[in-house]
Amino acid sequence: EVQLLESGGGLVQPGGSLRLSCAASGFTFSSHAMGWVRQAPGKGLEWVSGLSGSGGSAYYADSVRGRFTISRDNSKNTLYLQMSSLRVEDTAVFYCATWDWNYYFLDYWGQGTLVTVSS
Amino acid sequence: QSALTQPASVSGSPGQSITISCTGTSSDVGTYDFVSWYQQHPGKAPKLMIYEDYKRPSGVSDRFSGSKSGSTASLTISGLQAEDEADYFCCSYAGSSTLFVFGTGTKVTAL
């Protein structure tokens, strides 16, 4: 059974940093592209970032490019999202998901971790 | 890249069929056959319902079907049930720079 467990969310001040983690199990992690999707309170879904299985190709939404960095440790079956220069508008639940590299869909999702940016 | 346009809400009586539209542009829905749909119950993670415009993952009820015409994709729920009440989001591949664009979301209510 595929399981994705996010952690690392919390309250941070504007301009601060936070690192999210996503621990994966139940599938061959290194063979799967992974992504982060966020959802602001009461709002819709927004694609944030994606990373190939090898970690060699990374993608970012314009809204986070230059502030967020996606990475993975395939030896630990873990995906990361390093977030810096956080803004109030980054407040959201962040989901990690497996991403089908060839057909562009997100097939398995974690339960999410809440990031609150507030002074 | 702007979000894909969905109606804010769609409702129907149990047993009826409803259709949710998802309108994009020639930069996303109109060019790529990679529209997916996600169901999200309150407080829960999204769940994949349709991929590649019309394909259903294993385990998803055949009451859910997808289609597309031009730059508008659609999700149809046949035989609406109370458990189908949820938010639904479409998503499209939008090229190697943008990658994914989501729809604005539709709240489905079974009256």
Closest-CA residue of chain B to A111:
B45
Measured between CB atoms, does B105 come within 8 Å of chain A?
A: yes
How is residue A45 annotated by DSSP? Answer: E
In this predicted structure, what is the pLDDT of residue B98? 80
pLDDT in tens, A28-70: 999 999 999 999 999 999 999 999 999 999 999 999 999 999 9
Instruction: Look over chain B and give the mean of its residue pLDDT values, rounded to a whole number.
Output: 96
Per-residue confidence (pLDDT) for residue B1, from 0 to 100: 75
A47/B102 Cβ within 8 A:
yes
Phi-psi region of A26 (alpha: psi -120 to 50; beta: other; left: phi over 0): left
Residues of chain A above pLDDT 90, percent:
97
Q: How far apart are CA A85 and CA A46, in angstroms?
A: 19
Name the residue among B45, B48, B103 with its Cβ closest to that of A110.
B45
Please, what is the average pLDDT of chain A?
96
Amino acid identity of residue A49, one-letter, is: S
Q: Please write the tens of the pLDDT for every residue from B26-85.
A: 999 999 999 999 999 999 999 999 999 999 999 999 999 999 999 999 999 999 999 999
Query: What is the β-pairing status of strands B106-110 and B9-12?
Result: parallel
A29-52 b/e (C-beta count within 10 Å ≥ 16 → b)? beebbbbbbbbeeeebbbbbbbbe
Is A106 in Cβ contact with B34 (below 8 Å)? no
